[in-house]
Amino acid sequence: MIDYHLHLWPHGQRDIDPTIEQLAEYVDKAKAEGVVELAITEHLFRFGQAVGPLGRYFRRFPDSPMRNLMEDYWYEHSRADLDAYVEVAVAAKKAGLPVVVGLEVDYYQGEMDTVAELLKGYPFDVLLGSVHWIDDCPFDHVGDPFIEAWWDSYGVERAWDNYTRALGELANSGAVDVLAHPDLVKVTSHFPRVPEEYYDRMAEAARDSGIVAEVSSAGWRKPVGEPYPAPYLLKKFNQYGVEVTTASDAHRLGEVSMRVSELRGYLSEAGYTSLATFRDRSKRRLVIAGEG
């Protein structure tokens, strides 16, 4: 198995320089969980380099406590240096650790060319794309009364519709290689009347764009209590020939590759026998059927 979604810093923690030792610890933990290759994929918004081109993104929304919180959160979290991060990941790779260099990139509506321009000089192997916000709301914050109230006022069908549209636009942008946690919108278990209608649209967007989808054990740690994507969506992806990675979305050492090996059965039930891996943002294939 592979773990293609790993963070170095928990949310709220900042100003920690990444080191090869930290990556070596991640590799050891991943190996113990049956994982053979890792992608390091910190959030783009954690890096100072993103503030200039994208830091004013939330200004497009009407002035509100939500919008201002999002902007403040960004400024508090954007202290890391992208060059240092990439250098350490490249050095770990050169030292023979089974890691590839990646990033988790948010969907910035209308700004994905700005993202591509910002990242084009860097030697990334893989870029994950994520929809974490509906308009200016970070809907995936679990246990936050502010967000719970938002779900009630915004409406579940409208939230799923806007999430699904954003995911499709992200897939089509060509700026990223993998759709991270494709049905993240379900994280707090707010389900629409017929989720399959939205899952069908998500699967069609992945098929039509040729993008890879992530299968993530992180959903088991959330209120929804099932992996991303849902069984129905994963089967649909397989039917449509959408290739997949596996991932834990760990934010600390103890979570690295947690329950990733359990995804093997989940994948085979949906008909998958191989995973996609990446080098220099081009896709390769790793056969998993029968792997020990």
Both structure tokens of 285: 């294939």
Query: Alpha-carbon distance 185 to 163, whole Å?
Result: 7
Applying CB under 5 A, the site for Zn ion has a residue count of 3
Chain positions 241 to 280 lying near Zn ion, rule: CB under 5 A, are: 249
Chain positions 171 to 230 lying near Zn ion, rule: CB under 5 A, are: none
Q: How far is the CB of 37 from Zn ion (least distance, A)?
A: 17
Cβ burial, residue 193 (10 Å; 0-12/13-18/19+) = exposed
As a whole number of Å, the end-to-end CA separation of the chain is 10
Q: Please say whether the beta carbons of 92 and 23 come within 8 A.
A: yes
Q: Are strands 282-287 and 274-279 parallel, antiparallel or unpaired?
A: antiparallel
Helix (H) or strand (E) holding 71: helix 65-77
Query: Alpha-carbon distance 273 to 275, whole Å?
Result: 7
Both structure tokens of 3: 């773990």
Q: Which stretch binds Zn ion (CB under 5 A): 21-29, 78-86, 126-134, 160-168?
A: 126-134
The smaller minimum CB distance to Zn ion, of residues 135 and 249, is found at: 249
Map tokens 């993104």 to a residue.
57
The smaller minimum CB distance to Zn ion, of residues 183 and 249, is found at: 249
From 130, 162, 216, 238, residue interacting with Zn ion (rule: CB under 5 A): 130
The smaller minimum CB distance to Zn ion, of residues 134 and 152, is found at: 134
Q: How far is the CB of 72 from Zn ion (least distance, A)?
A: 20
Q: How far is the CB of 178 from Zn ion (least distance, A)?
A: 11
Q: How far is the CB of 7 from Zn ion (least distance, A)?
A: 6
> Interface mask (CB under 5 A) for Zn ion, residues 48-87, using x and -?
----------------------------------------
Q: How far is the CB of 289 from Zn ion (least distance, A)?
A: 28
Q: Which stretch binds Zn ion (CB under 5 A): 73-81, 82-90, 125-133, 240-248?
A: 125-133
125 binds Zn ion (CB under 5 A): no
Phi/psi of residue 131, nearest 5 degrees: -105, 105
Query: Alpha-carbon distance 215 to 266, whole Å?
Result: 9
Q: Which stretch binds Zn ion (CB under 5 A): 123-131, 224-232, 268-276, 282-290?
A: 123-131
Map tokens 């020939």 to a residue.
241
Chain positions 93 to 122 lying near Zn ion, rule: CB under 5 A, are: 104
Amino acid at 229: P
What residue ranges bind Zn ion (CB under 5 A)? 104, 130, 249
